[in-house]
Amino acid sequence: MSHSEKASLFIQDAEKTQWHDETLWFVRKKRDLITKTIPEWEELRETASQIKDHVLDHLADYLEEFERNANKNGIQVHWAQNAEEHNRLVLDIIQSKQCQSIVKSKSILTEECHLNPFLEKNGVEVVDTDLGERIVQFLNQPPSHIVLPAIHLKKREISELFHEKLQTEKGNEDPYYLTQAARIHLREKFLNAKVAITGVNFAVAETGEFVVCTNEGNADMGVHLADVHIACMGIEKIIPRRKDLGVFMRILARSATGQPITNYSSHFRSPASGKEIHLILLDNGRSAQLKREKFRNSLKCIRCGACMNTCPIYRKSGGYSYDSTVPGPIGSILSPGTDLKKHSTLPFASTLCGSCSDVCPVKINIHEQLYEWRQEITKANPDRPKNLSMKLASGIFKSPLAYRISGTLMRKVIQALPNSILYHPLNSWGKQRDLPQVPKESFRDWYKNNRL
């Protein structure tokens, strides 16, 4: 299904759509408020952007430096070219520890690799420990937002789910009560897991350390109680120096949720005695994206989610309408790089309003890349976008209106459009909108009559 079809379905629940829109707008507003208390905010964005630009130019060097230092610290570094290899590596480590059940904190990368179903198929129970992720895991759904995984659900739905899965009181929708039920349920999982998986927010080449940020403390509960910590990261998450963390830690949480920092920002440099840390560096298409000049800087993304919260399309159509691991504006410029055909409607699921680019803490020119992907998609896959243009033309320029128009100008415009566009039978414009009244004379005619 295309984005527009999924979006129309989402919108049918008007009340929920409005709630979704307003809730995420509220997060965006919190972000605005806090960023405006930092006079040097724009300078921070620029600095962060420059650091990331520099890293992308020297990614191989920094990865090697990171690996060298991480090894020295006693972290075991693994490399994976693709999702399959990544999942294999994870499974091998788990199996070598004779472990049947693992805990995992939020990691979009493991979603990208579809790690959970792979491990489950191989007899490993995976427990997502972030509350939102646990909720969607119970429902067998992927996260609908990269920072707020269960933002598409109302507490009534979560209450029903917990009643079924965790035997909470029927009808008790109190968020505190439901959270405590999850706390008790997950405590037991934390205490029994021998292996814990986390994502990575930043990895520092200079020190060989990596940083994981959470508010719930679930990543730390998992890894400090387990014997083995497996950290999974995309190769683009490297930054050069420890001091660069100062820049990124100032912008990440402020952009994400409007808080000054996550309550836990953990720096892993070497394993505690008797324990192991494994770190997997994943490519999975990133090196290919790096070669696409117009799209490479999408790899600067620090996954704050701000472009989703600000995007009116995302807010009003929900994360699932994108059918992509990373939804929203950033997903729409990342996903076509991995599967152009499958994601060919995503770059068109935008008005190119540019709010995403202005909100992005690392200054990715997201809306410009959406425009560029459109150019690529019409070249690679001529059918679908023509269909879009057809609708455009049929909407705005469609007959009978088009026939009523006289004047050389409009004729020229129409001449510039392929016939297949002009004579498409659909008229999407007029379903819920009136067309402008066609005036007696065009501006050109008026001008000729009044000025020449």
Partner 1 sequence: MNSRSIILEKLRTGNPVADKPLPEWNLISSAKNLVSGFKKAIEANKGEVFELSEFENWLKSQEFEQVLSISKHFNYPNSIQIPTDAHELAELNLAIIDGQFGTAENGAIWLDDKNLNLRALPFITEHLVIILSKKQLVATMHDAYKRIQDSNSGFGLFLAGPSKTADIEQSLVIGAHGAKSLRVVWCED
Partner 2 sequence: MPEYKNIGLFIPCYIDQFYPQVGIASLELLEKLGCQVGFPLGQTCCGQPLANSGYERDTEGSSLHFIEQFQHFDYIVAPSGSCVLHIKEHFPASAKIHPSFPEIKDKIFELTEFLTDILKVAIQGKFPHRVGYHASCHGLRGLRLGASSELNIADFNKSKQLLSQLEGLDWVELDRKDECCGFGGTFAVSEEALSVQMGNDRLRDHTSHQVEIITGGDVSCLMHLEGIAKRQHEKLKFMHIAEILNQAIS
Within 333-362, the residues that bind ligand SF4 by CB under 6 A are 359-362
Beta carbon of residue 312, minimum distance to partner 1 (angstroms, whole number): 18
- 260 is in the binding site of which of partner 2, partner 1, ligand SF4, none (Cβ under 5 to 8 A by kind)? partner 1
Q: Verify binding: residue 168, partner 1, rule CB under 8 A.
A: no
* Measured distance CA(366)–CA(355) in Å, rounded: 9
Task: Please give the sequence-ordered ranges of beta strands (E in DSSP) within 235-334, or none if there are none.
Answer: 238-239, 264-268, 276-282
Q: Which of positions 330-349 make contact with partner 2 (CB under 8 A)?
A: 348-349
Q: Which of positions 426-445 make contact with partner 2 (CB under 8 A)?
A: 428-429, 431-439, 441-445
| Cis ω before 361 (30° cut-off from 0) | no
> How many angstroms separate the Cα of 226 from the Cα of each of 126, 183, 219, 223, 297?
14, 18, 11, 5, 36
- 242 is in the binding site of which of partner 1, ligand SF4, partner 2, none (Cβ under 5 to 8 A by kind)? partner 1
- The amino acid occupying position 417 is L
Pairing of strands 195-198, 228-234: parallel
CB 104 within 8 A of CB 128: yes
Comparison of 184 and 416: residue with beta carbon closer to partner 1:
184
Beta carbon of residue 18, minimum distance to partner 2 (angstroms, whole number): 8
* Measured distance CA(153)–CA(276) in Å, rounded: 37
Q: Which of positions 285-324 make contact with partner 1 (CB under 8 A)?
A: 287-288, 290-291, 293, 296
Q: Verify binding: residue 94, ligand SF4, rule CB under 6 A.
A: no
Q: Verify binding: residue 358, partner 2, rule CB under 8 A.
A: yes
- 431 is in the binding site of which of partner 2, partner 1, ligand SF4, none (Cβ under 5 to 8 A by kind)? partner 2
Q: Which of positions 268-327 make contact with partner 2 (CB under 8 A)?
A: 310, 312-313, 316-317
Of 116, 137, 262, 369, the residue at the interface with partner 1 (CB under 8 A) is: 262
CB 65 within 8 A of CB 206: yes
Beta carbon of residue 261, minimum distance to partner 2 (angstroms, whole number): 18
Q: How is residue 442 written in tokens?
A: 């065009």
- 361 is in the binding site of which of ligand SF4, partner 2, partner 1, none (Cβ under 5 to 8 A by kind)? ligand SF4
CB 168 within 8 A of CB 200: no
Residues in the chain, overall count: 452
Q: Verify binding: residue 334, partner 1, rule CB under 8 A.
A: no
Of 4, 76, 100, 265, the residue at the interface with partner 1 (CB under 8 A) is: 265
CB 333 within 8 A of CB 382: no
- 175 is in the binding site of which of partner 1, ligand SF4, partner 2, none (Cβ under 5 to 8 A by kind)? partner 1
Helix axes of 383-396 and 366-380: crossing angle, nearest 10 degrees: 110
* Gyration radius of the chain's alpha carbons: 25
Counting residues that bind partner 1 (by CB under 8 A) gives 87
Comparison of 134 and 424: residue with beta carbon closer to partner 2:
424
